[in-house]
Amino acid sequence: MKLVTTPDENFIFWESKEREGEWINRMDFVEFLKENGLMEKHYLLDIGCGHLRHGIPLIEYLKPGHYYGYDQDESHLPIGLTGVEKYGLMWKLPTVGVEKDFDAFVFGQKFDFVMANSIFTHIHINDIKKCVIETLKYMKPKGKFFATFYMEPDFSGCDQGPGIYYCRSTQPSSFYENDFKGVCNTKVIGDWIGSKNTYGQQMVLFTKKGLGRVV
CA distance 41 to 165: 34
pLDDT in tens, 193-202: 554 555 567 7
- Is 45 part of a structural domain of the chain? yes
CB of 169 within 8 A of CB of 199? no
Q: Do residues 49 and 96 lie in contact, with contact meaning Cβ atoms separated by under 8 Å?
A: yes
CB 92 within 8 A of CB 64: yes
Whether 93 has a pLDDT exceeding 90, the answer reads yes
Which pLDDT band holds residue 80 (cuts at 50, 70, 90)? confident
pLDDT digits (tens, 9 = 90+) for 144-154: 999 887 665 54
pLDDT at 162 over 90: no
Q: What is the mean pLDDT of residues 86-105?
A: 90
* Backbone angle region of 157, left / alpha / beta, with phi > 0 → left and psi within -120 to 50 → alpha: left
Tell me, yes or no, whether 190 lies in a domain.
yes
Is residue 34 situated within a structural domain? yes
Q: How confident is the model at residue 167 (pLDDT cuts 50, 70, 90)?
A: very low
Give this prediction's pTM: 0.80
Question: Domain span at residue 15?
Answer: 2-148+176-208
Indicate the residue type of 78: P
Mean pLDDT of the chain: 75
DSSP percent split of the chain into helix, strand, coil, nearest 5: 30, 25, 45
Encode burial over 90-109: b for 16+ CB neighbours within 10 A, e otherwise.
eebebbbbbbeebebeebeb
DSSP 8-class letter at 94 = -
Q: What does the alpha-carbon distance between residue 111 and residue 139 come to, in Å, rounded to a whole number? A: 5
Provide the phi-psi class of 116: left if phi over 0, else alpha when psi is between -120 and 50, else beta.
beta
Domain assignment present for 215: no
Indicate the pLDDT class of residue 105, thresholds 50, 70 and 90: confident
For residue 162, tell me if it sits in a domain.
no
Please give the tally of structural domains in the chain.
1
CATH code where residue 134 lies? 3.40.50.150
- C-alpha 185/C-alpha 187 separation (Å) is 7
- Reply yes or no on whether the pLDDT at 186 is more than 80: yes
Asked if residue 171 belongs to a domain, the reply is no
On whether residue 63 sits in a domain, the answer given is yes
Q: Give residue-wise pLDDT tens across range 52-76.
A: 888 999 999 999 999 999 998 888 8
Of residues 123 and 139, more confidence is placed in 139
Query: Quick check: 51 pLDDT over 60?
Result: yes
Domain assignment present for 170: no
CA–CA gap between residue 215 and residue 199 (Å, rounded): 26
Between the ranges 1-5, 7-11, 192-196, where is the mean pLDDT highest?
Answer: 1-5
